[in-house]
Amino acid sequence: MRALVVGAGLVVTLIVLPTVLNIATSARLPGPLAWIAARPWPVLAGTGFLAVVLAWVQLTYLDDPSRARRTDTRGRGLADAVLLIDRGAGSWRRETLVATVAWRVRSGTRATVVYGLPGAGKTTIVAQAARELIGEIKYGVALTLEGYRAEDDSGSVALQLNGFLAGFGRELDLAVLEQSPRATLLRRLAVELRGLGVLVLIDGLHRAAPDTRRDLLEALDGVEGVRVLAASDEAPTARLPAEGVHVPELTPNEYREFARTLAVELGLEIDLDDLFDRLPDEIRSSPRSLAITLGYLRNRPIELLPTDAASDAQVVAHAMTALDVPTRQALLLAALFRGCGLTELLASSEGPPGLRDELDALLRRALIDQVQPTVELPALVVAGLSGLGGPEADGLYERVTDTLLAQVCAQVAADTDLAAAGQVLAAVAHNLSELEGWAQILKLCDRSVLDTLNRQGHWIAYLTLLRVGIRAADGRDEDLALELRLRLGRKLTQLGEQEEAAALVETVVSQVGEGEGVARIRLATQHGLFALTRGDAQAAKVAFERARDQAEALGDPALLATVYKQLGHTYQALGRVELASEAFHTAIDRAPARSKYSWDSLVNLAMLDLRAGRTAAARERIERAVRGMTAERYTAGLPRANLAYAEIVYSGGDRGRALELAREVLAGSGHDDKVTELAASMIRRFERATDG
């Protein structure tokens, strides 16, 4: 388009203006203009040709999303996406298997799932098959469910897809993305992939919950221009729109060829026949176990190979216990920061001197994988890490946790956005759960950090910390476990995940029983929210009034503000406007200063003013609320506040501003169905009234 504009500008400048000027003035034109005016048609043809060339350059080079925007991190060209899952397994290939997988992707429309035992080389085969398709499929997006991403699998997949779509200008608003109902989330993102010509690579599909696996594969199934290739420990079930390709154990010819190739790459001189005579079938037929064994034998004679290594787990245990202290510390640190960027790992002040060199040593021993741009650990190694526990590991976990928490709390105090820090916290907390670092997880569940993540709309990190924190608190801090379950239940209710939220509430009921206290108040509030969701305002009133009475006895400002705000909504649903107004005013009075509770209730009061015909008062309240939410970075509440703002200014006669606000909300609504529906309906109504 820009090229056509340039071409049109050339035509006007070189032909139209000289001709008009010549006719208007009958004056002799100077130099080149006279020459152009005397030869308009050849110049016109040449200019048109130039415009076509410029348009071709624009479409071929400048409008190519892979060249125009490189800000996303999930791949663009297919080769870029492969790098994000490639575990650097070397040059050896299982040619027949790779060719079969590539053929399945080419010829089918359903997802291809490569499955087999841990350490069988599934992700390597997926990466190698994807490389075969470079040149046939233009783009690629890499999705991983390793590490903390499995804690909130659907949300994590959505963020990764959104990162890829950013390269095409099709991304959804990040704040809305993290706070939206999940039911239609994946389908809406899949629609944005339509027609791109993209291979979706999924690493660790088995780590997703069964519902998420189904939702993801069904969303991508049959979408024009989209193919799916996944690695999984589990075969696809009949319910999934997918076809499986099994990765069997290495045959004798394959493991001999693999070991020979890897030994050359490692510079290892070894009698392979002697090695295979010493190894049981389970070890020599597994690529990862065989690679770890060869890495173990670097700088060691074959006679030191343990004779009791009869399983994958034993091979890994021997390889890890044989590490010297600095290398072992590097492995523990890599385990803590698994799934984070290599930058965060190398920047850790708790690592041994020469951390980069120690990581390189671990790479050569196949105990870690560098998957750009992160460090990952093989599943076999993660499972064996508990054997490295003890005072040394506990001390390292404690130092890292204390340092990380101090840094994040400083950011909270400075009111800094926690987008990046939240991801690191979520990753470290999840990794600590696999290392059984429960005491350190409890530290990371700092209330100020949780509140800030929730307020700023970083809900994937928030949900991850809650889920991991519950596992850590169970049996260790029952009060905290109850609090985290109630927080999780409230958030899941807001996200539309009613089934999981209800299960959490049942667990809380079984633990709390009858009685008073904060847990009972939050539980009553949760029951009230469930009642409002199903349209039973009378039951909600009973639950919230019981919560109000108990909260008044405790005097907790945040609890009181929450309960009174929900009571206001309930009284509105019952048509008791005066009581609703009184409840919202009380919520503001009882709320902590400049908190989200104040802004939410201020929006509600503005809408009550509007319905009562007090437009000026409504506008004053809503503008104050929007300013407060913006200043306090309460991004979760802004879309609905701005819709209320649009309704109020429309009623005041400023229809242009109302349309502008509603369109801004719609543009950023992403897959938040409720906000999208409200904004679209509002725009249609405003436009019909304007046209009329």
Amino acid symbol at 460: I
pLDDT over threshold 80, residue 41: no
pLDDT tens per residue, range 244-287: 999 999 999 999 999 998 888 888 888 888 888 888 888 888 88
State which H helix or E strand residue 229 sits in. strand 226-232
Nearest Cα residue to 168 out of 201, 192, 133: 192
Omega of the bond prior to 373 within 30 degrees of 0, cis? Answer: yes
Q: pLDDT > 90: what percent of the chain?
A: 26
Q: How far apart are CA 122 and CA 127, in angstroms?
A: 9
Provide the sign of the torsion angle of the four alpha carbons 285, 289, 295, 299, taken in this order.
negative
pLDDT surpasses 90 at 441: yes
pLDDT at 432: 92
The first and second tokens of residue 129, run together, are 């098959």
pLDDT digit string (tens) for 6-18? 444 544 444 444 4
Q: Of 56-60, 179-183, 423-427, which range is least confident?
A: 56-60
Q: Is 94 helix (H, G, I), strand (E, B) or coil?
A: coil
Task: Give the residue from 193, 172, 253, 316 showing the smallest Cα distance to 672.
Answer: 172
- The model carries a pTM of 0.65
What order of strands is seen across the sheet that includes strand 198-203?
139-144, 198-203, 226-232, 111-115, 242-246
Please state the rounded mean pLDDT for residues 676-680: 73
Q: At what angle do helices 557-573 and 518-533 cross, to 10 degrees?
A: 20
* Token pair listed for 51: 């415009």
Q: How far is CA 516 from CA 545, 551, 563, 592, in A?
A: 14, 9, 15, 23
Strand partners, 131: none
Q: Crossing angle, helix 325-336 and helix 419-434, to 10 degrees?
A: 120
SS3 assignment for 161-218: HHHHHHHHCCCCCHHHHHHCCCCCHHHHHHHHHCCCCEEEEEECHHHCCHHHHHHHHH
| pLDDT (tens digit per residue) in 132-168 | 999 999 999 998 887 777 777 777 788 788 888 878 8
Residue (of 144, 23, 151) closest to 83 by Cα position: 144
Q: What span, in angstroms and rounded, lies between the C-alpha atoms of 434 and 90? A: 28
